[in-house]
Structure 1
Amino acid sequence: MDGFLLLTFASLAALTAVLELFKRRSSKLDTTNREFLRFRANYVLVYALMMAGDWLQGPYVYALYQYYGFDRGQIGRLFIGGFASSMVFGTIAGSLADKYGRKKAALAYVVMYTSGCVTKHFNDFNVLLAGRLFSGVATSLLNSAFESWLVAEHSKRNYDDDWLGGTFSASVFVGNGFMAILSGLAAHTLVEAFSLGPVAPFDAAHAVLLLGGILILLTWTENFGDDGKESRAGFLGQIWGAMRAIRKDPKIALLGAMQSLFETSMYTFVFLWTPALSPNGEHLEHGLIFTCFMMACMAGSTIAGRLLSDPRRYQVSHYMKTVYGLAALTLLVPVFFHWYAPREDEEDSKAWASIGLTWQAKLQLVAFCAFEASDPVLVGVFWPSMMKLRSQYVPEDQRATILNLFRIPLNLFVCLVLYNVANVPLSVMFGMCSLFLLLAFFCQHRFLLLSVRSRVQSTLRRGQAAGARS
């Protein structure tokens, strides 16, 4: 194992431990309600298993396609298939989740993703493309059905609204952090230590997803939205209702814009980190690098938990500007390193294949870990904070539909990026991601101004009403 990677992992682990200890000591919320704690534990466990099924695949998706002999352009088209599927069919799936139930949608996620795992055994472009289509729908369900089920169930059981942020933080810490680290290490062990090949992590993901599906089937109740009943609105009615809600409240539209811009950068990063760290074919320990990213995500989610535990002191709409700004700066680092990167001929590439991380790659790795804290450090802060904002502003009865409408521009942007990935330099790609994050910063600033204006107007109306009564 690379000593620098081990040092990076150990440093991030120590930072996470210190942050978690500080968060627990300073936590102010009274969450001694045993029924709520059981509810939270069940959701976090299920979410962690669902995320594990996703994270086990993450480090080796690109590597598997390389193993099968596909070039970067072909791999880009496979990724496009997944994002296009998420954009088209995922939107329909989100609407069906609101109409027929979020529990059913969660189980559909298991079916779709396990089907995608099966296709990874075939070195055939069309079969792999079909797998990407399944995975695209599954990704949309993962990012809408579970959150929608949690918010509705939390409200139905009359739990304190302030506890919801803690549940989001815990689910990201365990699911996007701890479980992702275990998944990265497990994937690394299966491929590197046991030499089972790059398909092995997908088989492990299949088993974990089935286990999570059994827990959902046995322990979750069904919910559909505010009224708790199956919606009678048709598919188009669900879509038009969601679009009206977005047009009616510009804050919802801004939330969608910020989510799309941030996730576009994040998913583009997922595709590009391998060639960025290995521009000349240097050997990478994908599982260990992925584990470092996820440890950074744990650190970020711990920071988010601390911020969300004291909403009067730390307002999400304020500190998210800092998150977007720092994320934009971290993705400028690879821009500088790849701006004048020379092209290597075939003989040079073979010589580089036996070399590990270069010093340029190590510096980029540090920057990528910082970005991941916004998704591994900054991403870790982004997810629970954005979930909290959405729970406050997105209408409950159309939540899954709206969340998937938010993903349409995201998937469209990513498809356009990946379609041209073979012809566009890495520096331009990362520069574009940094620009998207900067735009998210300005959207957040606009969101903050609108939120302040709404609070002022609400206060004035209450004052006028009180004056009229007196």
Structure 2
Amino acid sequence: MSFFIISFLVLVAVCVGLYFYSRKSGTKIEGSSDPGFVYFRNLYLVVYLLGMAGDWLQGPYVYALYEHYKLSKRDIEFLFVAGFGASMLFGTVVGSFSDKFGRQRNCILYGIIYSLSCLTKHSSNFWVLLLGRLLGGTATSILWSGFETWLIHEHHSRGYSDRLLEEIFSWATIGNSIVAIVCGVAAQYAVDLFGFVAPFDMALIILVIMTVIVWLKWPENYGDASADLKKNFSDALTTVRTDRRVLCLGVVQSLFEGSMYCFVLEWTPALTPSAASTMSSGHAGKIPHGYIFAAYMVSLMIGGQLFSFCCNRSKPESFMRWVFGLSSVCLVQPALMRSDSLIPITFVGFLVFECCVGLFWPAIGTMRSKYVPDSIRATIMNLFRIPLNLVVVIILTQNFPIVFIFKCCVFFLIICCGIQFYLERLTRDEAPVESADGQTAEKSTEDDRKEFQGIA
């Protein structure tokens, strides 16, 4: 049995142990058993996880489908760059529609656009596939902003506490990991039985179901429906420029997620031995990708469970300082050198990094709910996806050595750690301010505005 499989089994045991420990000793959050909240939480989680399932089903087989259609490596790389480019350009605009036209409508738009993207996979024509990548890139921008903005507004409008919101984010991270594993297995069976297009047809069905549930069950909510899109972008840029809390969160989001995407692109070559080894356990010169991916997802689940423990003792603004510091240490080894003998150490670092990612997702959502204004929340979130997608496009288009890429990741994560220390100091003695419409937001002081206007 290889080191990778043993690691996966150990992680499963740890995850199960944490789950039962949390049920036995965890402090119950006030209001968490309220029937109204339970219905609201479950309704959101069902829709969100269906939306994520539609994405997870497609991911493992996009490249394989393009190869099946006999596309050249250059064409495949161009299609991937086009997807991230569409997310950076079109997705920023479309994802921001929710502030003016409604968050529920934006999530419905996600289901429609991504479903159309799935349909294009039935064609082997390059231009049809390119259209699919553009649609898919645009849809993912909505996925990473539209659902969260609807949740935060609806959560606060119903009068639920911030601790209950933290619980929803934690369950969303854990559930997303389970969905990823299930979708990976289901996609493999679908390909074996029906061919490479089958996972995309499964995703299409799930996305249609999700869209119908959103249409029937989710109430509509808005940011500033009276403002035009130009004003929304102007207000978002002004907020980023004048509110140090929002700026810090945005930079942290861009750099950490940029490092995460670089990791996703590079973990396979980092763990693949240059020759056959005992670690591969029969996979001559290769690695068991399925077990490794499953191990990453279990690590993500562990991070989601640890988030609840951390929140019982501290605020995300505080404990995320150490999470970012630890995540930078996790990637130091592949940033220094690559050696077959060091692959076990590299893999352990990657597992801990995934655990940090599991802590990051609910933490960043919780902090955004406090400090990003509700009226332009989606616009601001999508603005900070521009540098994130730019980082990925540069990585995809340049033939950087793997060691250099991981050095960039470590550098980005160290910056995240420093910024988080600054953010914790900024917010140490501050409490969220309730706005007139009941939304929780953190207001900048006049001194902050003057200081940033002077810098600008």
Superposed pair shares fold, TM > 0.5:
yes
Residue type of the partner of 2:220? E
- For residues 269 and 38 of structure 1, the distance between their equivalents in structure 2, rounded to whole angstroms, comes to 36
- For residues 381 and 29 of structure 2, the distance between their equivalents in structure 1, rounded to whole angstroms, comes to 28
After superposition, residues 266-277 of structure 1 pair within 5 angstroms as: 266-277=260-271
After superposition, residues 49-68 of structure 1 pair within 5 angstroms as: 49-68=50-69
User: How many pairs align?
Assistant: 422
2:22 is aligned to 23
After superposition, residues 209-288 of structure 1 pair within 5 angstroms as: 209-225=207-223, 231-278=225-272, 282-288=285-291
Q: Which runs of 5+ in 2 are unaligned?
A: 275-283, 432-441, 446-456
1:365 is aligned to 347
What's the offset of the Cα at 1:195? 5.2
What's the offset of the Cα at 1:71? 6.2
What's the offset of the Cα at 1:359? 6.3
- For residues 361 and 204 of structure 1, the distance between their equivalents in structure 2, rounded to whole angstroms, comes to 35
Query: Does 2:303 match 1:300?
Result: yes
1:108 is aligned to 109
- For residues 270 and 63 of structure 1, the distance between their equivalents in structure 2, rounded to whole angstroms, comes to 17
Alpha-carbon deviations, 1:287-314, whole Å to 9, x = none? 4432222111111111112223x2xx21
Residue type of the partner of 2:250? G
2:292 is aligned to 289
Structure 1 contact 115–131 (Cα < 8 Å) conserved: yes
Query: Does 2:392 match 1:414?
Result: yes
After superposition, residues 64-213 of structure 1 pair within 5 angstroms as: 64-68=65-69, 74-174=75-175, 176-191=176-191, 194=192, 196-213=194-211
- For residues 128 and 7 of structure 1, the distance between their equivalents in structure 2, rounded to whole angstroms, comes to 39
RMSD across aligned C-alpha pairs, in angstroms?
Answer: 2.4
Structure 2 contact 273–286 (Cα < 8 Å) conserved: no
Query: Does 2:416 match 1:440?
Result: yes
After superposition, residues 364-443 of structure 1 pair within 5 angstroms as: 364-372=346-354, 377-420=355-398, 423-443=399-419
Structure 2 contact 120–131 (Cα < 8 Å) conserved: yes
Residue type of the partner of 2:318? H
What's the offset of the Cα at 1:360? 5.4
- For residues 215 and 374 of structure 2, the distance between their equivalents in structure 1, rounded to whole angstroms, comes to 23
3-state DSSP class of the match of 1:32? coil
Q: Which runs of 5+ in 1 are unaligned?
A: 342-357, 462-470
3-state DSSP class of the match of 1:223? coil
Residue type of the partner of 1:274? T
The alignment's TM-score, normalised by the length of structure 1, stands at: 0.83
- For residues 23 and 68 of structure 1, the distance between their equivalents in structure 2, rounded to whole angstroms, comes to 48
Most deviating of 195-204 and 273-282: 273-282
Shift in alpha-carbon separation, 1:369–1:60, aligned structure 2, 3 A: farther
- For residues 403 and 18 of structure 1, the distance between their equivalents in structure 2, rounded to whole angstroms, comes to 35
Residue type of the partner of 2:328? A
Shift in alpha-carbon separation, 1:261–1:369, aligned structure 2, 3 A: same
Structure 1 contact 184–288 (Cα < 8 Å) conserved: no
1:347 is aligned to none
Alpha-carbon deviations, 1:263-303, whole Å to 9, x = none? 11111222222333347694454444322221111111111
Residue type of the partner of 2:323? V
Structure 1 contact 62–271 (Cα < 8 Å) conserved: no
Shift in alpha-carbon separation, 1:90–1:101, aligned structure 2, 3 A: same
3-state DSSP class of the match of 1:205? helix
- For residues 62 and 337 of structure 1, the distance between their equivalents in structure 2, rounded to whole angstroms, comes to 28
What's the offset of the Cα at 1:363? 4.5
- For residues 108 and 205 of structure 2, the distance between their equivalents in structure 1, rounded to whole angstroms, comes to 14
The alignment's TM-score, normalised by the length of structure 2, stands at: 0.86
Shift in alpha-carbon separation, 1:132–1:333, aligned structure 2, 3 A: farther
What's the offset of the Cα at 1:452? 2.8
3-state DSSP class of the match of 2:96? helix
* Structure 1 stretches of at least 4 aligned residues deviating more than 6 Å after TM superposition: none
